[in-house]
């Protein structure tokens, strides 16, 4: 009876140990397995069995891309400006064995390596270059970190400068510079607008003057044509009158009387002295004598 109980206990212990030695590795994970303290193998996705007492899982490694946000680091530029710069490193473990046995505290190593690399790169650049060359700095840091962490089984995919914080007085000077630059651009835009407006106004006045000149020219042409037409009509009427007179064949006495009428009309004007030809004087005397004889009768 006691032997049966002992056998059952031993069987139960064996089952428990066997169950505990079964491991299921999830997706994007890797298990580093040691045999008697030495590296044996790396388990990937699937079900695995661990030999009890002689094998152990040394480290469980995540194969996902990871993000390390490091605190701001003081750096000095080439023109002796101290800035605070914090970096973000995107990395991925590609070799769990090297990651486990390559270096102690790999995250601390990456942080210190990124800080020293950043100081070396920024030390060769001036302040303005640091502010405008983020892509170049990121590319250099990624290349250096990736090469340095390769023996640790880590691949650095991307490095980003999260914040660049110059001293307060430098920030104030930069703000004043930016304000002055905005005011300069505003003045240039305003001057260009005024110039454009003046050009448009001058072009409008020019076109207006041209239109006024054309209108005056057309008016003068129409007036000249009207005067010419009037003169033509007067000359035509005069010629027609002369033709009619010639056709009527007037006597000398009639011609002289018409001449008297013409001089009578002339005397109604502003002239103070009129010279009358002798022929007309004779006609006038004849007319006066006739008038006296009529009165005597």
Q: What is the pLDDT of residues 143-161, one digit of tens each?
A: 999 999 999 999 999 999 8
Mean pLDDT value of segment 31-57? 89
pLDDT of residue 12: 84
For 18-32, the DSSP string reads: HHHTEEEEPTTEEEE
**Is residue 134 within 8 Å of residue 158, measured between CB atoms?**
no
Q: What is the pTM of this model?
A: 0.56
pLDDT in tens, 54-79: 888 888 999 999 999 888 888 888 88
CA distance 56 to 33: 6
Fold (CATH) for 65-166: Tetrahydropterin Synthase; Chain A (3.30.479)
pLDDT of residue 294: 44
Domain boundaries, the chain: 2-62, 65-166, 190-249, 252-292
Nearest to 110 by CA among 143, 151, 145: 145
Per-residue pLDDT at 281 exceeds 80: no
Per-residue pLDDT at 269 exceeds 60: no
Which backbone phi and psi does 186 adopt, to 5 degrees? Answer: -65, -40
Higher pLDDT, 255 or 46: 46
Would you tell me the crossing angle of helices 278-296 and 252-267 to the nearest 10 degrees?
Answer: 100
CA distance 144 to 4: 67
User: What does the mean pLDDT of the chain come to?
Assistant: 81
CA distance 46 to 2: 41
- What is the percent of the chain where pLDDT is above 70? 81
DSSP reduced 3-state for 65: strand
**3-state DSSP helix/strand/coil percent for the chain, to nearest 5?**
60, 20, 20
Per-residue pLDDT at 274 exceeds 60: no
Burial of 236-271, coded b for 16+ CB within 10 Å and e otherwise, reads eeeeeeeeeeeeeeeeeeeebbeeeeeeeeeeeeee
């Amino acid at each position: 009876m006691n032997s049966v109980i002992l056998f059952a206990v031993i069987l139960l212990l064996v089952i428990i140990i066997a169950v505990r030695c079964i491991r299921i590795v999830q997706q994007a994970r890797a298990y580093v397995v040691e045999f008697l303290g030495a590296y044996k193998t790396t388990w990937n996705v699937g079900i695995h069995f661990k030999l009890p007492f002689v094998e152990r899982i040394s480290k469980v490694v995540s194969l996902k891309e990871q993000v390390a946000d490091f605190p701001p680091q003081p750096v000095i530029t080439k023109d002796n400006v101290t800035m605070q710069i914090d970096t973000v490193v995107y990395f991925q473990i590609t070799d769990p064995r090297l990651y486990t046995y390559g270096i102690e505290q790999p995250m601390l190593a990456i942080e210190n390596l990124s800080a020293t690399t950043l100081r070396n790169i920024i030390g060769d650049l001036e302040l303005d270059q640091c502010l405008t060359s983020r892509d170049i700095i990121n590319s250099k840091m990624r290349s250096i970190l990736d090469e340095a962490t390769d023996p640790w089984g880590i691949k650095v995919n991307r490095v980003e400068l999260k914040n660049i914080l110059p001293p307060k007085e430098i920030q104030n000077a930069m703000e004043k510079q930016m304000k002055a630059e905005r005011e300069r651009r505003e003045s240039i835009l305003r001057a260009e607008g005024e110039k454009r407006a003046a050009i448009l106004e001058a072009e409008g006045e020019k076109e207006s003057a041209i239109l006024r000149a054309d209108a005056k020219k057309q008016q003068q042409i129409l007036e000249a044509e009207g005067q010419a037409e009037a003169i033509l009509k007067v000359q035509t009427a005069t010629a027609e009158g002369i033709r009619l007179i010639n056709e009527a064949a007037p006597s000398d006495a009639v011609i002289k009387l018409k001449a008297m009428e013409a001089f009578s009309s002339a005397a109604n004007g502003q002239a103070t002295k009129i010279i009358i030809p002798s022929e007309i004087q004779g006609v006038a005397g004849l007319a006066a004598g006739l008038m006296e004889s009529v009165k005597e009768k």
